[in-house]
Amino acid sequence: MAHMTTSPLAQAYLRFLQLAKAIDGNTDLPTLDANERALLEALAMDWHNGTPMTVMQAMALKHLGSPATLHRRISRLRKLGMIEPQEDEHDTRIKRLVLTATARNYFEQMGQTLKLVTAR
């Protein structure tokens, strides 16, 4: 197969993907499959915006799986220490999914990887 020429931006993104995959092999961090990573990223975006997603909102992310599948993924992310439920300050029946120090470290390392790629 011939090597395809790609734009510098595409090359940077592909290099980022290579480095990000290498992070998954890091023994200090949990290994996530693509679906778990997608869920964690969705949770992280809302958490970062100051509005952590509720368990019910997470289970309604139909593009990431059925409610039963999402429940298993949420449970796995909890078991890996990436997220934890936190009671809503106004309604204790509502549980919000917040990032733990492990998840924040994961995103810190991903950010460092992005920094490496963009420095080239």
Domain ranges of the chain: 32-118
User: Which residue in 49, 37, 55 sits closest to 106, CA to CA?
Assistant: 37
- The DSSP 8-state label assigned to residue 120 in this structure reads -
Q: List the structure tokens of 74.
A: 């949420």
Fold of 32-118: Arc Repressor Mutant, subunit A (1.10.10)
Which pLDDT score, from 0 to 100, does residue 15 have? 80
Distance CA 47, CA 66 (A): 22
What is the DSSP code string of 23-84?
A: HHT-TTS----HHHHHHHHHHHHHHHTT-PPBHHHHHT-GGG--HHHHHHHHHHHHHTTSEE
Distance CA 25, CA 109 (A): 12
pLDDT tens-place string over residues 51-87: 999 999 999 999 999 999 999 999 999 999 999 999 9
Which pLDDT score, from 0 to 100, does residue 91 have? 92
